[in-house]
Amino acid sequence: MKKVIHFIVFIMFSGIIFNACSNNNQQNATTASGDTAQVIETIKDPNKPKPMALMMRQMAANADSMKAKLLRGESIDSLSFPFIRFYLVEPTDKNVLEPQFFENAKIYQAAHKAIFDHPTEQKKYYNLMIGACISCHENYCSGPLRRIKKMPIIE
């Protein structure tokens, strides 16, 4: 139980730091090594986001990092990008906790796993994972859809 609490606190803290939910406050920056990085300003959220929202923000940050690595021709692994069990924590709206939501979570989990099961086709499976995000967010919490729809790798 302690590990779960520590994990949730870590995710909450990470979510606040990375706060990948808003596309309006992002800008590109160049690091000392010449890589393009995302600089994300912290948004003050007067609603005190629930754990699921914070986990979703971490998932978005992970997807951005996955995309960047894949675009550089690097492979990604499940140790660097573990599956986040977002469906186990408190959502912003408890009405989403219905059978279809949990079915969508299973679809997303399978899509996430498929990326690592197909190392030579990771871009394709990354896009399928993002498609699972879009599909779910079209029915639940449509706010981040605009940002999510920019996540697929287009070549």
Per-residue pLDDT for 119 more than 90? yes
Per-residue CA distances from 63 to 4, 7, 80, 89, 97 (Å)? 23, 19, 11, 20, 24
Check residue 9 and give its pLDDT.
Answer: 41
108, 136 Cβ separation under 8 angstroms? yes
The first and second tokens of residue 24, run together, are 């309006």
Per-residue pLDDT for 25 more than 50? no
121, 106 Cβ separation under 8 angstroms? no
Which value, in Å, is the radius of gyration of the alpha carbons in the chain? Answer: 15
Check residue 3 and give its pLDDT.
Answer: 52
Check residue 41 and give its pLDDT.
Answer: 43
Check residue 42 and give its pLDDT.
Answer: 47
Could you tell me which residues come within 8 angstroms of residue 23 by beta carbon, excluding any fewer than 6 positions away? 146, 147, 150
Task: Give alpha helix (H) positions in the chain.
Answer: 2-18, 51-71, 99-117, 122-137, 145-148
Q: How confident is the model at residue 92 (pLDDT cuts 50, 70, 90)?
A: very high
Check residue 114 and give its pLDDT.
Answer: 98
Check residue 44 and give its pLDDT.
Answer: 53
**What percent of the chain lies above the pLDDT cut of 90?**
68
Q: Are strands 26-30 and 36-40 parallel, antiparallel or unpaired?
A: antiparallel
Average confidence (pLDDT) over 47-62: 94
Q: How confident is the model at residue 143 (pLDDT cuts 50, 70, 90)?
A: very high
Per-residue CA distances from 81 to 64, 65, 66 (Å)? 11, 9, 8
Check residue 2 and give its pLDDT.
Answer: 52
The Cα 133–Cα 111 span in angstroms is 10
Q: How many CB atoms lie within 10 A of CB 130?
A: 21
Average confidence (pLDDT) over 123-139: 97
Q: What is the mean pLDDT of the chain?
A: 80
